[in-house]
Structure 1
Amino acid sequence: MAAYLNRTVSMMSGDGPHNRSPMPSLPDHRQIRNSADNSPLQIFVKAKKKINDIFGEIEDYVKDSVHYMQDLQKEPNILDKDAVTKTEEYVRKVHGIRDVLARDHMKVAFFGRTSNGKSTVINAMLRDKILPSGIGHTTNCFLQVEGSPNDEAYLVLEGTTDHCAVESVGQLAHALCKEKLSESQLVKVYWPKNRCLLLRDDVVFVDSPGVDVTPNLDEWIDLHCLDADVFVLVANAESTLMVTEKNFFHKVSTRLSKPNIFILNNRWDASANEPEFLDQVRRQHQERAIDFLVKELKVCTAKEAEERIFFISAKEALLARIAEQGNTSPSMALAEGFQNRYFEFQDFERKFEECISKSAVKTKFEQHSQRGKFITNELREALDAIYNDAQKLRDDKLLQRKELHNKVNYTEQQLMVITQEMKQKIHNIVEDVEQRVSKALNEEIRRLSNLVDEFNLPFHPEPLVLNIYKKELHTHVETGLGSNLRARLSTALALNMEASQREMTERMQTLIPETQRNTSSIMLPRRQPFEILYRLNCDNLCADFHEDLEFRFSWGITTLIQRFAGSRSSFFAVKNNKRDDPNNTMIPPSPTDNVDGTLLYTSTTAEDWSILSRIALASVSSQGTMGGLLVAGFLMKTVGWRVIVVTGAIYSCLYLYERLTWTNKAKEKSFKKQYVSHATRKLKMIVDLTSANCSHQVQQELSGTFARLCHLVDEATTDMDKTLKGLEVEIMSLETAASRAKVLRNKANYLTHELELFEDAYLKGQH
């Protein structure tokens, strides 16, 4: 048998006498490995790697976008929470797509009636006898063969993670075993990728029980067929397509849009026994298969259907490949025409690889590519909107900053101008107030006698009563003067002050932003009308006043001498003062001394005359009787005694009259006259001080008002400076946000371009 196989291989190599056509030789392992690099399945492998790389970048990009948007939520009026939530959903979607891409493979499902050789076809494609096969109903459940991630052979039952020995597949999946699995249950067989090139290229084979042994076709389709890329119908070439086989694929075509179906007429080696009917039977099978694919299922054209119908012997192909690997020796004779059937099996594999690669790339990756483009486009639009909003807000903030900066400069300049103007205005008002107060106070001093005359408290020369009288008089004078000054000045000064303060407020208010004016009015409450306090302090001012209430005859010798001495002393005093100081003004005389009951009115230059008068009086009073007689004799001799008597009588009457009229009323009048004279002199001394004090009060009030207004402007300027700094921070933040949005938007364009290049390379060229 081994010799026969070797001869057959030699015939296929073109070396033997039985070579009837120039057929290519069987490839060895090196040829298979070299051809694998150029296999159509590599398109899927490369496309899978490429789209995985792209989605890796998309996942990083979406995460960066989420972090960017989460940071951007701190900025007002740029992004809402819904946009962040939507972007976070994209993270989960992209992660889910990556998981699917990691599991994506090319899946081919084998269906057919029982014992048509489905498992044998898979074994032949895997180049090893992995799945149970034989006569009768052998495969009892679904078997999925895929590449092992760790190059170990094992199997896993559905719903578990336990690894079982791969040899147990004959016990678990064989229909003749006592422990039978459910027909819809799946057993995954993991086979080392280095032992099968198809598995290395992410191809997964699904073997099924016969479609004629169960009515649960819909369940099969739902569980195992919806994600299949290619269906292989393994038919028995010794018979024809059965209704059960057709019904299954009719159900598949209703669930899937134009499924890719290959029809393998297995056991075609039986035709070697009837060579005379070979062509007729082949034509019959092919016509029926084409009608089934084109007219019944309508999944392809007639030309495409011809490329999907093959006549093979899976058992022969399996034996040849096992012998080719040197694992076992064939145990059966190969029928005539084996080489044609074997090469047709290889042709099926080649076209199957092309079809499954094209189909898998389209079905697996086209949808992912579209979803990736959708996600990147959505993010690009969102980022573009963020960029535009950030730019618009930045422009608005720049305009606000410019306007606010100009406002600050204008405020500072205007504050300087207003300050100079208000200083000058306050100075003018202060001078005006000083002049007014001085003029009014001088006028009131001239009318002081009237004010004193209005004082009507009972007068008595008793010292205790007189002290109380003087205190009350001090209060009366101070109150009266203050009241008169207020009546003359307060209204005009208050109006002038109010007008000035209102002007200050109005001009300074223009420098305060409207948003802060309400706050400023609270900080500067309405004050009571300004009123000047006239502090004359008459009690202390006239504390040195000493009244003289002693009776003095107005025609007495002493009084006459005093009058004469006083007038002359005043004359000489004025003359001496003028000679000493030409700018010195005359000060009215005031009572200074009280000598022998005589009140002396003198100045500092009348001291000598006081001394002379005292000497004269002393000399007159010291003559005694002799002196009086001499004077009387002299007068009698000169004018006569009658004149002397009459003169003495008149003199005595005048003395008596004055002495009788020297009552408390006269004393009060004399007291008030003395007080007026003394208070007038003292008040004139404080006119300048009082007017300066009043002007100082006005200056303090106006300066205080202006200082408070300046403080409000300073606070407003400080607030504007803080706002400027805040705007600077916001502008920088918006510039950073716009810059990052632009970078991420450009990356979205890059990823979209990458997906378009992927579609051009792997999808559009596959149609």
Structure 2
Amino acid sequence: MAAPAANGRPPVGLPADMVRKVRDNSPLQVFVNAKRKINDIYVEIEDYVKDSVAYMRSVQNNEQLFANDDFKIVESHINKVRGIRDVLLRDHMKVAFFGRTSNGHTTNCFLQVEGSETGEAYLVTEDSSEKQNVKSVGQLGHALCKEKLKESQMVRIFWPKEKCLLLRDDVVLVDSPGIDVTPNLDEWIDKHCLDADVFVLVANAESTLMVTEKNFFHKVSQRLSKPNIFILNNRWDAAASEPDYMDEVRGQHTERTIDFLVSELKVCSSDEAAQRIFFVSAKEALQARLQEQNGHPAHTGALAEGFQKRYFEFQDFEKKFEECISQSAVKTKFEQHSQQGQLVVSEVKRVMDAIYEKCLKTRAEKLLTKKEVQDRLNFTEKNLMLLTQEMKDKIHQMVEDVEQRVSKALSEEIHRLSTLVDEFNLAFHPEPLVLNVYKKELHVYVENGLGSNLRARLSTALALNMETSQREMMERMAELLPADKKQVSLTILPRREPFEILYRLNCDNLCADFHENLEFRFSWGITSLIARFMRGRSADVAVLNRVERIPHPLTPLGDPGHQVSLQRSVSNEDWSFLSKIAVASISSQGTVGGMLVAGFMLKTVGWRLILVSGAIYGCLYMYERLTWTNKAKERTFKKQYVNHATNKLKLIVDLTSANCSHQVQQELSSTFARLCHLVDESTEEMSGRVKALEKEVKLLEESANSAKVLRNKANYVARELNLFDEAYLLQQD
């Protein structure tokens, strides 16, 4: 098995797997691997920035977790990272060859050789995108070509990568026209050299460095910080004709070149400069490679003695050149991208850290607020239950108190009804039509009078009690309300007038069955006397607690078809007297009755006594008859009305007091219900607030977790960049 050449290139005939192994160990592969790695990292950076922007958009309206400026900064990194990725795809190792005309240069313009992605060979000129046959490069780029191109123009040559290892390893070769053909060195450098990683000066070993060559690299060093320069003293095979002076000439060239690199350009140290100077024969090396490609030994392409030494030195140049271009390209191309990636990641991480901390802080605040609201809700609900029961008891007590007060006051006013009726002074006349109007007005007067008297006795105390109770309700319920509703509760029941009970007596309907009896009745008539006697005996029976059948109440005197029922159980001796006069007086009234009685008494008391008694009796009758005026009739009417109304009003005492207590109950219950409604609204708001806070806390937890993931991803990407720096950048220092 053939051993690999000193420059790391596999000899002809090496198996494909060995070729791949040798190629993987090439210094140029460091750049290729570094480029692949930094591209992979930037894919992650781009994904990370996109994820961060998407996350920030999703939480943009949540609690102001970040400032708008932070969002703009993170969002701007998308285009920045995308631009860096585009640059990375174009990044390659660039080598620029310079020298005076005839030092190995025969071009009249810039020729750039780069790998073809399509596998075809073609070229394009600077001012055209047309693909031309690569064979025309000999005419376009040759200094003796009739078709002249400007020396600053570029001809790009695309060559299949599989035919050249350097091109396969992302190396671009730029060959310049002679630096002595134009004074426009600044334009050259700015246009084609600022991105070069290595400069190779092809000098003539038969002469020392010229001022033109030194001047070019002075301009390069002004624009680039310490450019990497290799100096190839070409045509060293010509020195073989004078072997006695070869070492002296080599030493002289080396000394002057080191002084130029170290003292004048100040781009490297003496030891580094000694490693950048080589004495070669490009033509001889080309012929040796062609012989190797054809399967012949390399020395068959020698042009003079000492070939082996010159060929080894050329291979040493290739090795150091590859190491230098790889190291330089990795550092110049990727160091800035690595630093920019670290900056992007650190800025996004800073924003994610801030969002994460804000989420945690806001979440803690929300949890505290939720606990406070929940505690307030529990306190309100618990105390509302207790207060509701307490208020129900108070309302019940007050309702009972009102019922008792109204019952007592109404009973007392009924006892004083005669006084109220006596004060009614509307003109009285027994004419039926007039009398009906009189009764209606009396109904209204009694109803208003009773109501007015009841209000005078009860309204002030009841209104004060009602106001006190309502105020207590509002103050107690206000303790359960938040601050913004407390004032509402204190003004929920504005009253222009104090609460007043309506006493619905309705005397018109109540006394609708009242029928007056205004016929003259002699108070000393037989019927009246018997009625008085019977009433007296009834009183005696009640006092003596005798077991007697209590008579039914007498039908009011005003009833038509009035007849007196005298069914009583009396003693035999009382009946012996009454039976004598009753027979005579039954169905008798006035004088006829008196004559019958007188006839019976004539036998017992004598006619004189009867005459005197009759005279007195007649006088009494005449007096009462003469005094039976409208006034007497009005008094009788009022007396009958009072008796009737009293009985009727007594029947509705309980109903009226219950109605009044119901009004009080409704008023207090309505007040309490409205206050409870305020509390219910407050508890509903608090319940809704608790649910909203739970949702917000959950969203904040999710946001914090997402921010934490993105923050950890930033740490991962930053660690990847650090590992890249350690693997490809720090080792180059």
Q: Same fold (TM over 0.5)?
A: yes
Cα displacement string for residues 472-525 of structure 1 (whole angstroms, at most 9, x for unaligned residues): 111111111111111111111111111111111111122122244466678x45
1:67 to 39, 47, 54: 54
Q: Which amino acid aligns with 1:314?
A: A
Matched, 1:766 2:726: no
Q: Which residue matches 1:690?
A: 656
Deviation at 1:235, TM superposition (A): 0.9
Give SS of 2:556's match. strand
Is 1:346 aligned to residue 315 of structure 2?
Answer: yes
Matched, 1:511 2:480: yes
d(CA) in 1 for partners of 2:552, 2:228:
137
Q: 2:432 aligns with which of 463, 486, 490?
A: 463
Q: Take 2:566 and 2:185, find their aligned partners in 1: how far apart are those partners?
A: 149
Q: CA deviation at 1:47?
A: 1.2
Q: Aligned match of 2:684 in 699, 707, 718?
A: 718
Amino acid at match of 2:55: Y
Deviation for aligned residue 1:565: 3.3
- 2:104 corresponds to: 117
* Equivalent in the alignment of 2:176: 208
Instruction: Select the residue among 383, 396, 401 that pairs with 1:432.
Output: 401
Q: Offset of 1:643 from its aligned partner?
A: 3.5
Distance of 1:289 and 1:679 partners within structure 2: 146
Q: Which moved more, 1:628-637 or 1:408-417?
A: 628-637
Q: What is the aligned counterpart of 2:227 among 259, 264, 276?
A: 259
Partner of 1:591: 556
Pick one of 163, 172, 178 that aligns with 2:140.
172
Whole-angstrom distance in 1 between the partners of 2:86 and 2:568 = 122
* Pairwise CA distance, 1:527: 4.4
Residues 426-435 or 492-501, more deviating: 492-501
Q: Is the 8 A contact 2:96 2:198 kept in 1?
A: yes
After superposition, residues 239-254 of structure 1 pair within 5 angstroms as: 239-254=207-222
1:200-349 to 2 correspondences below 5 Å: 200-326=168-294, 334-349=303-318
Q: Is the 8 A contact 1:520 1:712 kept in 2?
A: yes
- Is the CA contact 1:437–1:691 (under 8 Å) kept in the aligned structure 2? yes
Q: Which residue is 2:164 aligned to?
A: 196
Distance 2:74 2:596 in 1: 142
Structure 1 pair 588/270, CA: closer, same or farther in 2 (3 Å)? farther
Query: Which 10-residue stretch deviates more, 185-194 or 383-392?
Result: 185-194
The answer to whether the Cα contact below 8 Å between 1:548 and 1:599 also exists between their aligned partners in 2 is: no
Equivalent residues of 1:387, 1:738 under 8 A apart: yes
Structure 1 residues 92 and 623: alpha-carbon distance in aligned structure 2, compared to 1, 3 A threshold: closer
Q: Which residue of 2 aligns with 1:130?
A: none
CA distance in 2, matches of 1:620, 1:374: 135
Cα distance in structure 2, aligned partners of 1:284 and 1:162: 49
1:488/1:590 CA distance change after superposition, 3 Å: farther
- Following superposition, the deviation at residue 385 of structure 1 comes to 1.1
Q: How does 1:105-144 map to 2 (within 5 A)?
A: 105-118=92-105, 138-144=106-112
Residue 745 (structure 1) shift: 0.8
Distance 2:507 2:318 in 1: 132
Name the % identity. Answer: 66
Question: How far is 1:531 from its partner?
Answer: 1.6
For 1:24 and 1:557, locate their aligned partners in 2 and report how far apart those are by CA, in whole Å: 165
The separation in 2 between residues aligned to 1:422 and 1:159, in whole angstroms, is 99
Residue 72 of structure 1 aligns with an amino acid whose one-letter code is V
Question: Are the equivalent residues in 2 in contact too, given 1:33–1:197 (CA < 8 A)?
Answer: no
SS at match of 1:591: coil
Q: Partner amino acid for 1:591?
A: P
Alpha-carbon displacement from aligned partner over 1:189-236 (angstroms, at most 9, x marks no partner): 111111111111111111111111112211111111111111111111
Higher deviation after alignment, 478-487 or 272-281: 272-281
Superposed displacement of residue 651, structure 1: 2.1
User: Which residue matches 2:79?
Assistant: 92
What amino acid is the match of 2:266? K
Q: Partner of 2:517: helix, strand, or coil?
A: coil
CA distance in 2, matches of 1:228, 1:577: 147
Give the paired residue count.
Answer: 720
CA deviation digits over 1:641-691, x for unaligned, max 9? Answer: 444333333222222221121111111111111111111111111111111
Q: Equivalent residue for 1:40? A: 27
CA RMSD of aligned residues (A): 3.4
CA distance in 2, matches of 1:556, 1:293: 167
Distance 2:704 2:43 in 1: 25
Q: Which amino acid aligns with 1:246?
A: K
Q: Quote the offset at 1:734 in angstroms.
A: 0.6
Change beyond 3 A, Cα 1:537–1:58: same
Give, in angstroms, the shift of residue 28 of structure 1.
3.3
Task: Report the equivalent of 1:746.
Answer: 712
The more displaced of 306-315 and 269-278 is 269-278
Q: Is the 8 A contact 1:110 1:232 kept in 2?
A: yes
Residue aligning to 2:12: 28
| Further displaced range: 160-169 or 101-110 | 160-169
Give distance in 1, aligned partners of 2:544 and 2:494: 59
CA distance, structure 2, for counterparts of residue 91 and residue 202 of structure 1: 27
Q: Is the 8 A contact 2:261 2:267 kept in 1?
A: yes
**C-alpha distance in 2 between matches for 1:338 and 1:605:** 177
Unmatched 5+ stretches in structure 2: none
Deviates more, 1:367-376 or 1:174-183: 174-183
Partner of 2:527: 558
Deviation for aligned residue 1:32: 6.6
What are the residue-to-residue correspondences of 1:42-61 with 2, within 5 Å? 42-61=29-48
**1:432-466 CA distance string (max 9 Å, x none):** 11111111111111111121122111111111111
CA drift of 1:766 comes to 0.9
Aligned to 2:417: 448
Q: Distance in 2 between matches of 1:660 and 1:231?
A: 161
Partner of 2:672: 706
3-state SS of 2:481 partner: coil
Moved more, 528-537 or 492-501: 528-537
Distance 1:33 1:447, change over 3 A: closer
Aligned pair in 2 of structure 1 residues 86, 680: CA closer, same or farther (>3 Å)? same
Given the superposition, is the C-alpha separation of residues 573 and 307 from structure 1 closer, same or farther in structure 2, using an over 3 Å criterion?
Answer: same
